[in-house]
Amino acid sequence: MKLISGGICAAKGFKASGVHCGIRKNRTKKDLALIVSDVPASAAAVYTTNLVKGAPLLLNMRNLSDGKAQAVICNSGNANTCNANGIQIAKEMCKLVSEATGIPANDVVVASTGVIGQPLDITPIADGMAELTANLSYEGSNDAATAIMTTDTVSKEVAVEFEINGKVCRMGGIAKGSGMIHPNMATMLVFITTDCAIAPDMLQKALSGDIKNTFNMVSVDGDTSTNDMVTVLANGMAGNEVITEENQDFTVFMKALNTLTVNLCRMIAGDGEGATKLLECVVTGADDEETAKICAKSVICSSLLKAAMFGADANWGRVLCAIGYSGASVDVTKIDVSFKSNKGIITVCQNGAGVPFSEEKAKEILLEKEIDILISVGEGEFSATAWGCDLTYDYVKINGDYRT
């Protein structure tokens, strides 16, 4: 298992492209992406639990009902959500891909991201299809990754290589996500490809199982997006025997998927709107996994704690406060808290009470770009990790005029 380059195109048989078609006013920003597999692929997806869902998600639930897909099209700059003709526009996007590539329209995954409640004109998308398909390339991952960005400051792509029964398999992914990130059953927009052969039902089982400990443990601002979706396409071109059950091959596949998704989680959390720091909260010593998850997520979601991290203030009381209102059943007299970064580690709380520590050393640790919040809640065997970011002045600036 190793990290490799190539992103969404690292897996055999996947091309991608990204262009500016005119949805976004800034001509320097790409706003339309396309991912295509050379052959039909097994497909799986998870979606936001927000009752208000973007039209593309509703269409995807139909298109992916047979567990198959061969292409993904995604626009940025407009979410195609809460629009009277949203479904029709999403269908038109799939039809345009079909006309340009020959892939059946119901084998196309469609996604949109951007402003909610603004009508999405199909014209620029139609006008951009010729360039979009002409630019499809086995090295096009970064073009697609930048085309799906909204308030993201950096593109997010990662790939891993692994082996199943002597066959080298690859898996790659791109993601966008910076604000409105507080998912449940999905997150942001994430597109994953692999050349590993796996049955659709096992692919869905792998994805649904993985997100519980990865994407569902990320929070930037406490808002669950209307367009959150994670999609995986597996075209089988690596030539391994098809994974049809929970065996050793499935375990290896799950490890590869988890390696990929954890890396994307860290990228998304670290690029939160206005963020200057990536926060990783690790809770250990819990009596059960759910308790560990509740504690970790509550801490990473605390606006007060996030603000303290921005100010490099070792205000450990905010950690205990967040655990205290989380609803988790823990003995507060057994909670230990430490902060860690490349500058070292410092213990600030033991057995639920403060201990003497150097404020100067703590500040030095907390001024780093990546901060670990280490919490022990007892002597149990269970643990959990959550990812987030600090809360800065720029978050308010970005969202104060996002629509205009």
257-270: pLDDT as tens digits: 999 999 999 998 88
Catalytic residue (choose from 48, 113, 133, 187)? 187
| Reported confidence tier of residue 224, pLDDT bands at 50, 70, 90 | low
Written as one string, the DSSP assignment of 139-201 is: T-HHHHHHHT-SS-SS-EEEEEEEEETTEEEEEEEEEE-SSS---SS--SEEEEEE-S-B-HH
Collapsed DSSP state (helix, strand, coil) of residue 75: strand
Distance of alpha carbon 133 from the chain centroid: 26
pTM recorded for the entire structure: 0.89
126-185: pLDDT as tens digits: 999 999 999 999 999 999 999 999 878 889 999 999 999 999 999 999 999 765 556 664
Q: What is the pLDDT of residue 27?
A: 86
Radius of gyration of the chain (CA): 22
- Residue among 394, 287, 374 at smallest CA distance from 331: 287
Average pLDDT for the chain: 93
Amino acid found at 327: G
Specify whether 187 is catalytic. Answer: yes
Domains of the chain: 2-270 (3.60.70.12), 278-400 (3.10.20.340)
Q: Once rounded to an integer, what is the mean pLDDT over residues 319-330?
A: 96
Q: What is the pLDDT of residue 157?
A: 97
β-strand pairing of 156-164 with 167-176 = antiparallel
Q: Once rounded to an integer, what is the mean pLDDT over residues 204-228?
A: 84
Q: Once rounded to an integer, what is the mean pLDDT over residues 25-45?
A: 95
Q: What is the pLDDT of residue 273?
A: 76
Q: What is the DSSP letter of 224?
A: P
